[in-house]
Amino acid sequence: MLSLVIFDCDGVLFDSAHANVAYYNAVLERLGRPPLNEEWARRAHFMSSYQLYDAMFGAESRLGEEARRAARDIDYAPFYRLMRPAPDLDHVLQALTQRFRLAMATNRGGTVSGVVRAFRLERFLELTVGAHDVARPKPHPDMIQKCLDHFRVMPTAAVYVGDSETDHQAALAAGVHFIAVGGNTPAEYRVRELRQLPAVLDQLAGSGAPIDQ
């Protein structure tokens, strides 16, 4: 029986592509580097910041460390206004709290608590886990496992809602169900937008379907 729904943040609860690209471009400008091109902007959507800097500049590189330092110095607060909540976000989350425990597991790092405060997500989410809270970010299962441990539920009682193959791989590695948002990730269960999620959760809960490995 499903009892726990875990959400990714970017691309699921929010359309935050413009906010994240603007933030990373501010970091790159501080370094005297050109802004993200289309491919790096795509990768920035699902990578943690450390993963992105390592991929761009090389692991443990001097430039990568400078990027991390610049990122710590730049306040993300002005970029929250560029984030667009999913349609009917509050209504969907409020409805789901009547039936499930809710959590968020995201590759965001130091901005996780800021997102929660800016959009008052503490009204709905009992736990938020970010890249700084675990040893390994997604696609590793660590943050989903942290949610399972916190709520003391078996993987079969949980579902992860994400929008990327990184999310899918993390869900598979953790042994939880997966629901994809949008059309970018192959999945048995998917929604075009978040407000369709309650109906798909009903379908998944009533199907008794095994987790697709």
In a domain, 11, yes or no: yes
Residue where a domain terminates, one of 80, 111, 134:
80
Entry pTM = 0.89
Do residues 169 and 73 share a domain?
Answer: no
Do residues 97 and 186 share a domain?
Answer: yes
In a domain, 53, yes or no: yes
Do residues 54 and 27 share a domain?
Answer: yes
Do residues 25 and 102 share a domain?
Answer: no
Please give the C-alpha separations between residue 101 and each of 66, 98, 135, 147, 149, in angstroms, as whole numbers: 39, 8, 24, 10, 13
Do residues 69 and 137 share a domain?
Answer: no
Do residues 10 and 104 share a domain?
Answer: yes
In a domain, 212, yes or no: no
Question: pLDDT value at position 212?
Answer: 46
Do residues 8 and 29 share a domain?
Answer: no
In a domain, 213, yes or no: no
Question: pLDDT value at position 129?
Answer: 98
Domain count, the chain: 2
Do residues 104 and 170 share a domain?
Answer: yes
Question: pLDDT value at position 50?
Answer: 87
Do residues 44 and 132 share a domain?
Answer: no
Residue where a domain terminates, one of 27, 48, 80:
80
List per-residue pLDDT tens for the chain, 213 residues long.
Answer: 899 999 999 999 999 999 999 999 999 999 999 999 999 999 988 888 889 999 999 988 999 999 999 999 999 999 999 999 999 999 999 999 999 999 999 999 889 999 999 999 999 999 999 999 999 999 999 999 999 999 999 999 999 999 999 999 999 999 999 999 998 787 889 999 999 999 999 988 876 555 543
Tell me which residue range forms the domain holding 28.
17-80
Question: pLDDT value at position 191?
Answer: 95
Question: pLDDT value at position 204?
Answer: 87
CATH (domain of 113): 3.40.50.1000
- H/E/C letters for each residue in 17-72? HHHHHHHHHHHHHHCCCCCCCHHHHHHHCCCCHHHHHHHHHCCCCHHHHHHHHHHH
Do residues 107 and 38 share a domain?
Answer: no
What the block records as the tokens of 2 is 């499903």
Do residues 88 and 49 share a domain?
Answer: no
Do residues 177 and 104 share a domain?
Answer: yes
